[in-house]
Amino acid sequence: MNDNTTAPGEARVHVSLGERSYDILIGPGLIASAGQQIAARLPGIRAAIVSDENVADLYLEKLGESLSRAGIESTSIVLPAGEKTKNFEQVIAVSEAVLAARLERGDAVIALGGGVVGDLSGFVAGIVRRGMNFVQIPTSLLAQVDSSVGGKTGINTSHGKNLIGVFHQPALVLADADVLDSLSGREFRAGYAEMAKYGLIDQPDFFAWLEKNWQQVFAGGAPRIHAIATSCQAKADVVAADEYEGGKRALLNLGHTFGHALEAATGYDSGRLVHGEGVAIGMVLAHEFSTRMNLASPDDAQRVAAHLRAVGLPTQLSDIEGTLPPPDILLEHIAQDKKVKRGKLTFILTRGIGQSFVADDVPISEVLGFLKEKYTQ
């Protein structure tokens, strides 16, 4: 199979960025054919595969064999699993391992894992030797429809999530639909939240389709491929129009300002809250806050919450296990989020389903008042 061929059951999304353009392939069995796909685009490379302990046990050997069959020599770097891995210490460790393997700028870092592995590996690929080739093989639904696409990489600090990073586009994304069957129900639901986000941003017909077909998406097969491809196309279109998040790309942060603050407030404890769950609650909060600001009907917020609840996602603060810090502390996390410019709060708000927009200079007092109301519900 060459890079212009799509096998039966596969979908292809092209991210158009001039010299940095690349394909996203979505379909079954892509890890087994990864070596052939990568070699067709990056001939003659050597590679470092970065994975985590959980994913490595399932798929690292299969990927290594696929690379070997295609003549790609590889070394493996296995990290601890979990959000807390996205830190400077691991960036240093992975960078040193890549250099110790004597990989050159023209070689590749391959991320085999979920969003944590992809974000950290992409950051390393962006800074080691001032920029190496990067390939994403996302193994979670969340990574397949969101973090693996668009070139945003980074790590967390005590000040907040993804505050250190670079834009570094991959050369290829391989979204193997088969690996999603190994996800827990919670992990799949967390990824689904990002999928629903695309409908809520500017594709109301897709959101309506998900409301009717979400059970088939969960079951797998053609509806799942369709939903992933639609999500990737939505993100690819936005990235092509605004690669460095100067304008329209900010819409992809719907639900994320609230969601990132909740992740920070729970200490990035995945037992209490994972990223997609924070986004789910954040999207409901964004719609409810839009209602408070007289921008949208309360019916829209109720519709969003009803669908996410039906899927099994959390939709309100009380759904988070344990005690949250008080509203003013949560507001500090919001103010620290990367969507803040020169001290002014920026939110993605909405005028209805599929009618999101960037709201600059949102009054802090309104946000604090809203949070205080939410804490009492």
Residues annotated as part of the active site: 130, 152, 194, 235, 245, 249, 253, 256, 260, 275
Burial label for 248, CB within 10 Å (0-12, 13-18, 19+), is middle
What are the C-alpha distances in Å from 38 to residues 107, 124, 345?
A: 11, 19, 42
Q: Calculate ∠ Cα 173-176-178, nearest 5°.
A: 170
Q: Calculate ∠ Cα 284-290-293, nearest 5°.
A: 145
- The rounded distance, in Å, linking the Cα atoms of 79 and 268 is 17
At position 177, the amino acid (one-letter code) is: A
Q: Is 104 helix (H, G, I), strand (E, B) or coil?
A: coil
Q: Is 70 helix (H, G, I), strand (E, B) or coil?
A: coil
What's the chain's length in residues? 377
- The rounded distance, in Å, linking the Cα atoms of 167 and 123 is 8
Q: How far apart are the first and last CA of the chain?
A: 55
Transcribe 289-334 into DSSP letters. Answer: HHHHTTSS-HHHHHHHHHHHHHHT---SGGGSSSPPPPHHHHHHHH
With beta carbons less than 8 A apart as the criterion, state whether 170 and 24 touch: no
Phi and psi at 65, nearest 5°, equal -65, -40
What are the C-alpha distances in Å from 358 to residues 241, 254, 362?
A: 16, 9, 10
- Which tokens sit at 311? 């899927």
